Amino acid sequence: MKLTVLIIGCGDIGITLGRELLSEGHHVIGVRRQVDALKDTGIEPLALDLNDLEGADASALPHADYVIYTVSADRFEESAYQSAYPDGLKRVLGVLEQHKTPPKRVFFVSSTSVYGQQEGEVVSEDSPTGSTSFSGKLMCDAEQALINHSIPGTVVRFSGIYGPGRDRLIHQVAEGRIAAVTPVSYSNRIHRDDCTGILAHLIRCQEKGDSLADLYLGSDCEPVTLHNVMAWLAKQLKVESTETMQSPLRRRTSKRCDNSRIRETGYEFRYPTYKEGYAQVLKEGGFLAPQKA
């Protein structure tokens, strides 16, 4: 059955997801302030600033079977996070609840930054969050706003997203930089294409009649230390590390994400570990030197 999917905050993840849904024959509407990036994607553009939804009626957003809220804060400041996450999501829900036929489900793209663990603990959907940062706290506020709403909602907490164009770590390694061995800092990662794969998969699950949980962790199958990721990248790039990076104390967390719940739904990771994922980015991004004949 042809579905209408509304993607709010239709950036890199939204566009990639939109293309996947379009390939399955669905109708996709992308909401963003500037819609030039949606040109030639097949996604129907809708130019909108979420601040304009304050007190808006049902006509402010089109009907959709599913809504994906994947907004990004435009800067790392508390006011920007407040606007993008709890405030923006609440405004959207306030409009959607006025629709004669509300969406079957709203998905909120959250982050594993809501966790505050620092000792390499294994975390799951049932673990306490405990982030002390404003970003983690405000993300939790937005999660609860959706989970407590009358419209069915599911939160997906993605870990460190990488993929085409998300290659900062590769550039750091190419410059000879590497994370310190100690203190041990676990890194949890997910390829962009698995982010979109999980969201599309959950829509398919609901369409099949499967029950969905309120919350899923979206992270690949191998939590690994940041040092080991960068050492592996250095080996692929054939570079020597000349500078050791120390993570600022205010940003230091260390946890291992357990993705059992999403795998139990039947989702199979396209890039199960960082090795498969970064191999794709290295190859497609032209980072590897051509092989000599």
Task: Report yes or no on 129 lying in a domain.
Answer: yes
- Residue-wise pLDDT for 2-46, tens only, equals 999 999 999 999 999 999 999 999 999 999 999 999 999 999 999
Supply the CATH number for residue 159's domain. 3.40.50.720
d(CA 206, CA 211): 7
Decide if 53 is inside a domain. Answer: yes
Give mean pLDDT, residues 83-94.
97
Residue 79 reports pLDDT greater than 60: yes
How does pLDDT run across 103-120, given as a tens digit for each residue?
999 999 999 999 988 889
Q: Flag whether 62 is in a domain.
A: yes
pLDDT digits (tens, 9 = 90+) for 141-187: 999 999 999 999 999 999 999 999 999 999 999 999 999 998 888 98
On whether residue 263 sits in a domain, the answer given is: yes
* 177 belongs to a structural domain: no
Q: Which domain holds residue 158?
A: 4-165+190-221+256-271
The pLDDT tens digits for 199-243 are 999 999 999 999 999 999 999 999 999 999 999 999 999 999 888
Strand partners, 68: 7, 107
Contacts of 44 by beta carbon, 8 Å cutoff, 6+ apart:
27, 28, 29, 30
pLDDT of residue 249: 45
pTM of the model: 0.94
Q: Does 112 reside within a domain? A: yes
Residues sharing a CB contact under 8 Å with residue 52, sequence separation 6 or more, in sequence order = 60
Tell me what pLDDT residue 151 has: 98
* 236 in any annotated domain: no
% the chain with pLDDT above 90: 86
Does residue 76 fall inside a structural domain? Answer: yes
Tens-place pLDDT, residues 110-147: 999 999 888 899 999 999 998 888 999 999 999 999 99
Looking at residue 184, its pLDDT comes to: 86
Please count the structural domains in the chain: 1
Q: Which residues pair with 245 in a beta bridge?
A: 179
